Chain A
Amino acid sequence: MNLAIVLVTAAVLALAVISSVAVSRSLQTSRGGAGLAPTIRPIDVEAFRNLINPAEDDYLRRRLPPGQFRVVRRERLRAMAAYVQVASSNAGVLVRVGEAALASGDPRIAGAAHALVNDALLLRRNATVALARIYLALAWPNSGFAAVRVVDRYERLSGAAMLLGRLQNPAVPVRLSALL
């Protein structure tokens, strides 16, 4: 009977998740793709690049006593995680912006939207892996870490967003580029 209770609980939880997804999807459908762009938060990519620079870490390691280095390194890792989370969240918004543009009758817009969604999904995937590595590095601050791929992907994503913005609204060509 204990097994039955476990399985019934699992089934109820699964049903709750599926119902919540259904409700959120119907809310999204009724809103369309509108109102998404302003939810994108700008990121200082230069500051992020500085944070993940291994040379900076090496310099700090040489200059600081081991205990203090670990404290500083953890602070930097936390800041890095915050940046990656924002990049991942922005990528999620761009997936929805791109998907809203996929239905466009213009094949150029649809192509640019498809490229944007694909790049945004790749960034989100890389951000997930990068976050996992950052949290692991928080446990072992002396270990090496590189999140360069997330930055590179973010730059590519901004290019794809710019292209879609230009195609959708040639009069205001920089509108989407500003979103990142």
Chain B
Amino acid sequence: MLQAHSLLWHYLWVAPNLLLLILAAILWRRKLYKKFPVFLVFAVVIPIEQLTVYITDIIPAVQPIAWWHVFWAGLLVEALIKFALIGEIFGAVFGLYPSVAKPGKFLISAVGVALVLLSSVAAAYTPKDNIYWIVSGAHVLEQTIYMIECGLILFLFVFAAYFKLHWSRPAFGITLGLGISACVHLATWALMANGNFSAQYRNRLDFLNMATYHACVLIWFYYLLVPQKNVPKPKDPPPPEHDLTVWNQELERLLHQ
């Protein structure tokens, strides 16, 4: 069951990508992409890239070296789009408020630079897990990209939580999916790049990656297409009269100083 080219393997590689393309089509038709145009690009380009890699994998005529070239190209395109998407989410959550947008931009840039340095150090210490550089290099590049992505998404969550900022439903859903995917992929690629595991064990990690990606696509479906329930909001009770008077007296005194 958990073997390469098994039915489950084919399903997990193809189905989430088809679902993501369907989601892109729905977003386009309902004009829901206007707030998150980069996510629409993500939902179109990533499945096409993944399906290209899949097709080159199952066509016997494609040489292994050609497959790895396709894989590398896809990886670089994927990384560019994901970082652009993180920038778009940052703008959607913090861009409305100049008081946090400016320091936030500075901080996320600083965190990005620190993550690039950290991931470069990690890449330098990662042993070669294959005699072919194109294979081991791809594993290290995956580890590097997911380290940076995971760190940036974590920063977004922590920064918004510190300032008690509310996430819009689509922004939260997109970031949650990206975050879960980045964390799981970082763990699995770190194991693949640094551990000397058997092919069977690597297959299991591949399955974990694919299943996580499938779950994330379903998260995006839920948060982008299912409307939020309207919870009736009871009114706040008025504060005690004593506090009200004291505070207003204090304010009056300050204003007349």
Partner of B186, one of A11, A46, A172: A11
Q: Which residue of A lies closest to B175 (CB)?
A: A18
Q: A25-B172, A177-B248 are in contact. Are A18 and B183 (CB under 8 A)?
A: yes
Contact present for A95 and B191 (CB under 8 Å):
no
Assembly CA distance A97 to B135 (angstroms): 52
List residues of B (132-178) whose CB comes within 8 Å of A's CBs.
143, 147, 150-151, 153-154, 157-158, 161-167, 172, 176
CB contact under 8 A between A125 and B194, given known A15-B184, A17-B157, A38-B239: no
- State whether the Cβ of A170 lies closer than 8 Å to any Cβ in chain B: no
Chain A contacts with B in 23-68, Cβ cutoff 8 A: 24-25, 28-38, 40, 42, 44-46
Q: Whole-angstrom distance from the CB of B257 to the nearest CB of chain A?
A: 9
Bound Cα distance A100, B233 (Å): 10
Q: Is B235 an interface residue (CB 8 A)?
A: yes
The answer to whether B250 and A45 touch across the interface, beta carbons within 8 angstroms, is yes
> Is A132 in contact with chain B by the CB < 8 A criterion?
no
Instruction: Return chain B residues, CB-CB under 8 Å to A99.
Output: 165-166
A32 to B232 CA separation, bound complex (whole angstroms): 8
Tally of contacts, chain A with chain B, CB under 8 A: 148
The answer to whether B243 touches A29, judged by C-beta atoms less than 8 angstroms apart, is: no
Q: Does B187 contact A (CB under 8 A)?
A: yes
Task: Give CA–CA (A47, B70) in the complex, Å.
Answer: 67
Given known A32-B233, A121-B163, A125-B103, contact A11–B150 (CB-CB < 8 A): yes
Q: How far is the CA of A180 from the CA of B244 in the complex (A)?
A: 9
Residues of B within 8 A of A42 (CB): 243, 246-247
- Please tell me if A10 contacts chain B, counting CB pairs below 8 Å: yes
CA distance A138 to B183 in the complex (A): 39
- Measured CB to CB, the closest approach of chain B to A21, in angstroms, equals 5
- Which of A11, A158, A172, A180 is the most central at the interface, judged by chain B CB atoms within 10 Å of its CB? A11
Which of A38, A124, A177 is close to B244, meaning CB atoms less than 8 Å apart?
A177
Report the interface size class on chain A: 35 or more
Known contacts: A3-B190, A32-B233, A45-B250. The answer to whether A125 contacts B99 by CB under 8 A is yes
CB distance from A111 to the nearest CB of B (A): 12
Tell whether, in the assembled complex, residue A3 and residue B237 are in contact, meaning their CB atoms are under 8 Å apart. Answer: no
Determine chain B's interface SS by DSSP, over half rule. helix
B231 pairs with A175, CB closer than 8 A:
no
How many chain B residues sit at the interface, stated as a range, is 35 or more
CB distance from A135 to the nearest CB of B (A): 17
Contacts of B227 in A (CB 8 A): none
B51 in the interface, Cβ–Cβ < 8 Å? no
Assess the A18–B179 pair: CB atoms within 8 A: yes
The verdict on A122 contacting chain B, using a C-beta distance below 8 Å, is yes
B60 proximal to A (CB < 8 A): no
Closest to B219 in A: A22
* CB neighbours of A124 from chain B (8 A): 162-164
CA of A25 to CA of B250, assembled, Å: 35
Q: Tell me if A155 is interfacial: C-beta within 8 Å of chain B.
A: yes
B96 in the interface, Cβ–Cβ < 8 Å?
A: yes
Among A11, A22, A33, A34, contact of B183 (Cβ-Cβ < 8 Å)? A11
Q: Taking the nearest CB of chain A, how far is it from the CB of B93, in angstroms?
A: 11
Q: Given the complex, which residues of B lie within 8 Å of A155, measured CB to CB?
A: 251, 254
Docked Cα-Cα span, A179 to B193, in Å, equals: 55
Contact with A along B202-240 (1 / 0, CB 8 A): 000000000000000000000000001001111111110
B residues in contact with A93, CB < 8 Å: 164
Could you list 27 A-B pairs, sorted by A, with CB under 8 Å?
A3-B190, A4-B190, A4-B194, A7-B143, A7-B194, A8-B190, A10-B186, A12-B187, A14-B150, A14-B186, A15-B179, A15-B184, A18-B154, A18-B157, A18-B176, A29-B231, A30-B231, A33-B233, A37-B236, A37-B239, A96-B166, A125-B99, A155-B251, A158-B247, A175-B239, A178-B244, A179-B247
